[in-house]
């Protein structure tokens, strides 16, 4: 009886140690969370260009909910990704008021577990924005 009890206690201790030592699952930061943290101050909580900082800008902050409408019904994935990343924006596009997020996302991806790399973060923001698109009337 004592031997069986010791075996049971030993097994429970082993399971407890394995569970306690295993890494917690990593949950990537969502596109909605990234947008709320990095974009909503200018673009607004619903991406309509009406964030609290928009009134102080020298340029009109675009309504991101109409990207598909303004592009003949197609969401401009590559253009949006390039603009968010910002590191390879051609000079022909002129000056830039929006921060370059690609480097920021790469840095946070290295420093914060679960933050994801810049491509993951940008892709998740794009998926979020695609879901916010208004339908043409």
Q: Give the HSE-up count for residue 118: Cα atoms under 13 Å, Cβ half-sphere.
A: 15
Of 27, 32, 24, 34, give the one whose Cα is nearest residue 118: 34
Of 49, 72, 58, 60, give the one whose Cα is nearest residue 129: 49
pLDDT bin (cut points 50, 70, 90) of residue 91 is low
pTM: 0.74
pLDDT bin (cut points 50, 70, 90) of residue 16 is very low
- 26-132 — its CATH code? 1.10.760.10
The total number of residues shown for the chain amounts to 137
> What pLDDT score does 90 carry?
61
Question: pLDDT tens for residues 70-87?
Answer: 999 999 999 999 999 988
Cα separation of 77 and 108, whole Å?
23
120: which DSSP letter? H
- Nearest 10 degrees: Cα torsion 74, 75, 78, 79: 100
Do 72 and 60 contact (CB within 8 A), yes or no? no
């Amino acid at each position: 009886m004592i031997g069986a009890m010791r075996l049971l206690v030993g097994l429970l201790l082993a399971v407890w140690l394995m569970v306690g030592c295993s890494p917690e699952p990593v949950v990537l930061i969502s596109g909605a969370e990234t947008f709320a943290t990095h974009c909503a101050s200018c673009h607004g909580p619903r991406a309509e260009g009406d964030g609290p900082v928009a009134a102080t800008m020298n340029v009109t902050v675009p309504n991101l909910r109409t990207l598909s409408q303004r592009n003949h019904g197609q969401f401009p994935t590559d253009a949006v990704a390039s603009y968010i990343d910002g590191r390879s924006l051609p000079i022909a596009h002129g000056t830039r008021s929006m921060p370059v997020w690609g480097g920021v996302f790469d840095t946070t991806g290295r420093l914060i577990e679960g933050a994801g790399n810049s491509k993951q973060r940008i892709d998740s923001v794009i998926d979020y924005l695609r879901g916010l698109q208004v339908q043409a009337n």
